[in-house]
Amino acid sequence: MKEAQAFAGTKIADVLNAVDALYTDIDKSQAEWKQKTPAPCPDGCGRCCEHFEPDVYEYEALYLGAWLLVHKKELAEDIRLHGAAFSLNYTDGCFLFDPHNPHHCRVYGGRCLICRLFAHSGTRGKDMRVHWKPCKFIEGTEKNREHREYAETELIERFGCFPPDMAQAAARLIALNPENTETRPLREALPAAIEKLKLILRFLTPPEPNSPEPDLPSPRPLSA
């Protein structure tokens, strides 16, 4: 993960790379599902973030903070200094949701675990198999009209695949840091994570007198 380079040799770099590996595996396991899914998200929807803000583990916040420090440095500084107070969506829903932008999420490349899983993952049922239900905001089509729960066997029969297991992904994230199972609202966890990352960077790259703050690596082009 390029964002980890500035922290090379520290535990933070290991954390960022481990979370990145988890997110990459989720992307891979969702690729076929999204291609064949009977329920793609409509363009510009984003209603799941309008009245919801995630509670996150510290490692998710550190990953998002590191992503912001590379890709959106000014936004990272706003969040560090002002928390959610500057946001466009302060009182209800995620403070990183932009109602005026068709893509809505201001931190898409660094977004949290649940943001990656919601609507494109399943839950494990009593039969210990994956079950999946389309998001209620997805418009019905001939293929996906039924807003009901589908069992793994039916998903395989009808679509040839099934989505990743949400609980398994969450367990993998918790296993990265089993001593810290506390979650906090994103608007609290993210400013603290950015502060921590910047403090570590200051130790790693001590500034010359009167020199500006050290720069992080240039952003890589974002995929869609």
- Restricting to residues 6-35, name those near ligand SF4 by CB under 6 A: none
Kindly state the tokens that stand for 193.
């994570």
Phi, psi of 55 (to 5 degrees): -90, 135
Largest alpha-carbon pair distance within the chain?
67
CB 96 within 8 A of CB 107: yes
Q: Site for ligand SF4 (CB under 6 A): which residue of 12, 68, 115, 155?
A: 115
Residue 92 CB neighbours (<10 A): 11
Distance CA 19, CA 111 (A): 11
Q: Site for ligand SF4 (CB under 6 A): which residue of 4, 15, 48, 197?
A: 48
Q: Which stretch binds ligand SF4 (CB under 6 A): 7-15, 19-27, 92-100, 211-219?
A: 92-100
Kindly tell me which of 13 and 134 has the beta carbon lying closer to ligand SF4: 134
- Restricting to residues 138-157, name those near ligand SF4 by CB under 6 A: 138
Q: Is 170 in the site for ligand SF4 (CB under 6 A)?
A: no
Taking each continuous run of H as one helix and of E as one strand, the counts in the chain are 7, 5
Q: Which stretch binds ligand SF4 (CB under 6 A): 106-114, 154-162, 193-201, 209-217?
A: 106-114
Kindly tell me which of 13 and 187 has the beta carbon lying closer to ligand SF4: 187
CB of 87 to ligand SF4, least distance (A): 10
Could you give the angle at the alpha carbon of 166 between the alpha carbons of 182 and 79, nearest 5°? 50
Distance CA 181, CA 164 (A): 22
- Applying CB under 6 A, the residues found at the interface with ligand SF4 are 41-42, 45-49, 54, 94, 96-97, 105, 107, 111-112, 115, 118-119, 135, 137-138
